[in-house]
């Protein structure tokens, strides 16, 4: 397949590396500098003490029209509107979106394409620099159809070490992912810890359990106990991973708190649910956004 991946973050780089041997992959980045670095030096992947390099075609988004069998959009929620113009005019059989939260779904309705997928990633990934990622936990990618597409796409995308799982109900899939993001991301960002500490530290674990209770009161698809077990499982599977929100806070960048916890708080208001802990962590993260980068310990 001819695959175009938009986004030079950890997820975009990881997907490009996994498909580069079996498909014709082009990575589209936000800056010329990153595109030139990867085009020149390759993409480095560190996993289980091993180093691997993949040479991938890389270009700056917008330098030419998008045309591919599959376009994968792996940008953060707050950058979605910046790429919608490129996507609207793109010539592609299918588009796959990989975002945290659910704030982007309204944008997908505006696209003319017949096959649109949404996906959620359960791998533990960290971007070291523009051309290097660390894989801290390999799991699977959940995928479902927003419009059109079928389960057969998995046959083209997965390998023995890069698994996909089909989900009939994308709303449920995204709520499950949102639970992990809404609890693990802000907690690790506020506490300045890696994912595993949320499961290992009894005090942090207690906070996570209280947040799961609030989450289940808003999204009752799964119980508090099921949500808590899922969150702990992800923390254990990605124990050495540093969440994207923690990394954003450390580097003084905008976070995805609005697209994750902000959406949850608004949904709670609609349903008349009381979520004081989520309101608190929302304001705490908003207060940290765009502050000077944190010094490493």
In sequence order, the 6+-apart residues with CB closer than 8 A to the CB of 88 are 110, 111, 112
Beta strands 57-60 and 50-54, pairing class = unpaired
SS3 297: coil
In sequence order, the 6+-apart residues with CB closer than 8 A to the CB of 287 are none
Helix 170-191 vs helix 224-237: angle between axes, to the nearest 10 degrees? 60
Torsion angles phi and psi, residue 127, rounded to 5: -85, 120
SS3 165: strand
> The tokens of 247 are what?
């990394």
**Beta-bridge partners for 51:** 46
d(CA 40, CA 17): 15
End-to-end CA distance of the chain: 44
Q: Are 34 and 8 in contact (CB under 8 A)?
A: yes
- Of the candidates 94, 112, 98, 97, the one whose C-alpha atom is nearest the C-alpha of residue 153 is 94
Q: Where are the alpha helices (DSSP H) in the chain?
A: 10-19, 32-41, 80-88, 105-108, 153-157, 170-191, 195-200, 202-218, 224-237, 244-250, 257, 263-271, 276-288
The DSSP 8-state label assigned to residue 260 in this structure reads I
Q: Where are the alpha helices (DSSP H) in 20-98?
A: 32-41, 80-88
Q: Which of 60, 110, 127, 177 is catalytic?
A: 177
Tell me if residue 177 is catalytic: yes
Q: Which residues are catalytic?
A: 177
């Amino acid at each position: 397949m001819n695959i175009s991946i938009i986004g030079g973050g950890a997820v975009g780089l990881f997907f490009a590396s996994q498909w580069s041997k079996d498909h014709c992959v082009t990575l589209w980045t936000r800056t010329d500098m990153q595109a030139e670095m990867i085009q020149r030096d390759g993409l480095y992947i560190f996993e289980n003490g091993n180093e691997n390099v993949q040479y991938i075609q890389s270009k700056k988004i917008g330098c030419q029209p998008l045309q591919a069998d599959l376009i994968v959009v792996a940008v953060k929620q707050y950058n979605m509107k910046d790429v919608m113009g490129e996507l609207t005019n793109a010539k592609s059989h299918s588009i796959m979106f990989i975002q945290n939260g659910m704030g982007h779904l309204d944008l997908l309705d505006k696209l003319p394409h017949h096959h649109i997928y949404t996906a959620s990633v359960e791998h533990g990934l960290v971007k070291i620099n523009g051309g290097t990622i660390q894989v801290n936990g390999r799991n699977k990618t959940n995928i479902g159809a927003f419009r059109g597409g079928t389960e057969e796409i998995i046959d083209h995308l997965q390998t023995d070490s890069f698994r996909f799982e089909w989900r009939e109900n994308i709303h449920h899939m995204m709520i499950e992912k949102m639970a992990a993001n809404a609890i693990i991301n802000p907690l690790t960002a506020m506490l300045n810890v890696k994912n595993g500490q949320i499961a290992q530290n009894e005090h942090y674990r207690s906070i996570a359990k209280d947040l799961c209770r609030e989450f289940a009161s808003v999204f009752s698809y799964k119980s508090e106990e099921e949500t808590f077990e899922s969150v702990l499982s992800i923390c254990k599977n990605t124990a050495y991973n540093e969440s994207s929100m923690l990394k954003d806070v450390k580097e003084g960048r905008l976070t995805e708190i609005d697209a994750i916890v902000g959406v949850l708080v608004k949904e709670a208001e609609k349903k008349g649910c009381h979520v004081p802990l989520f309101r608190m962590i929302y304001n705490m993260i908003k207060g940290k956004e765009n502050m000077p980068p944190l010094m490493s310990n």
